Amino acid sequence: MRDDKATQHQPTRSDYKNVWMALSDTHDRAIMHVIGSNDESAFESTGAGTLKFLRETVGIRPDDVVLEIGCGVGRVGKQIASLCRRWIGCDVSANMLQFAADRLRSLPNIELKEISGYNLQDVPDASCDVVYCTVVFMHLESWDRYAYVLEAARVLKGGGRLYIDNVNLCSEGGWKVFEVHRAFPPDRRPPHITECSTPQELETYLKRAGFCDVQLRTDDSFVRAWGLKPPIQQ
C-alpha cells in the first residue's frame, strides 16, 4: 500500500471547499485553475466566448437577476453584469470570491456569496431569472451536479432559465481528455480531475428536475444543456 504525504493529505474530490481553497491560494493559481493559463487576454476572450453561448441559449435580458454557480474570479460575471439587473456569483472558495471582488470592484450591481459546495442555501426561492454553471460540473461528483440542478429549479422564478455544461465524453475532444486522465494511477488522481458528462446525463438531470423545453448543443468538445422552469399557471 502506498503511504506518502501526497496521498495522505489530499482531500477527497467531494471535499470541495478544501480542494478549491488550496487551488486558489494565490491569484496566479486561481487564474490557472479557472482557464488553465495565466494569460489575462485569454481570460477576456474566453469570458466573451461564454457570454456568447449564454446569449444564444438562455439569453441575458436587462431586467434579469442572473446567478452563477461556481463563479471563480468573475471571468464570466465581468462580461454579464453590465447587461443585467443583478449578477450574483456563488462559489465554494472564499479565495476565489476575494479575487472576484477585486476584479469586479467597479461594477455596482454584483453580489458575491460563499456557499457550502452542495447547495444554494442562502438564496431565496423563486428569486432569479437565469442560473448558469459553466466549467464546474467536470469537478463535481454526479450527485452534486444534480443537487445544483435541483437547487436551480428552486431559486428560479417560473419561466426562469438554467444553463449547464461539461466536457462531452462522446466528442473527440472529450474522449482525449478521458484518455489523458485515465493515465493517472488511481491513488494519484488529483481530486479536481475532470470527469466528463454525456449529453444524456445532463438532459436527464434537467428533465428529472422538472425543466421543460430542454435543449442540447454538442457542436464542439462540450455538451451544453439548457431549459426552462415551467411558468406558474395563474
Ligand X SMILES: C[S@@+](CC[C@H](N)C(=O)[O-])C[C@H]1O[C@@H](n2cnc3c(N)ncnc32)[C@H](O)[C@@H]1O
Residues that bind ligand X (CB under 6 A): 16, 20, 33-34, 69-72, 75-76, 91-93, 96, 115, 117, 134-136, 139-140, 144
- Closest-CA residue to 131 (of 119, 112, 148): 148
- Considering the complex, state which of residue 94 and residue 126 has its C-beta at the smaller distance from ligand X: 94
Minimum CB–partner distance for residue 46 and ligand X (Å): 8
Minimum CB–partner distance for residue 160 and ligand X (Å): 19
Minimum CB–partner distance for residue 121 and ligand X (Å): 11
Dist. CA 138–CA 191, nearest whole Å: 11
Minimum CB–partner distance for residue 184 and ligand X (Å): 18
Q: How many CA atoms lie within 13 A of 128 on its CB side?
A: 29
- Considering the complex, state which of residue 66 and residue 115 has its C-beta at the smaller distance from ligand X: 115
| Helix, strand, coil in percent for the chain, rounding step 5 | 40, 20, 40
- Considering the complex, state which of residue 98 and residue 109 has its C-beta at the smaller distance from ligand X: 98
- Considering the complex, state which of residue 67 and residue 115 has its C-beta at the smaller distance from ligand X: 115
**Run of H or E including 76:** none
Residue 140 region by backbone torsions, left for phi larger than 0, else alpha for psi between -120 and 50, else beta = beta
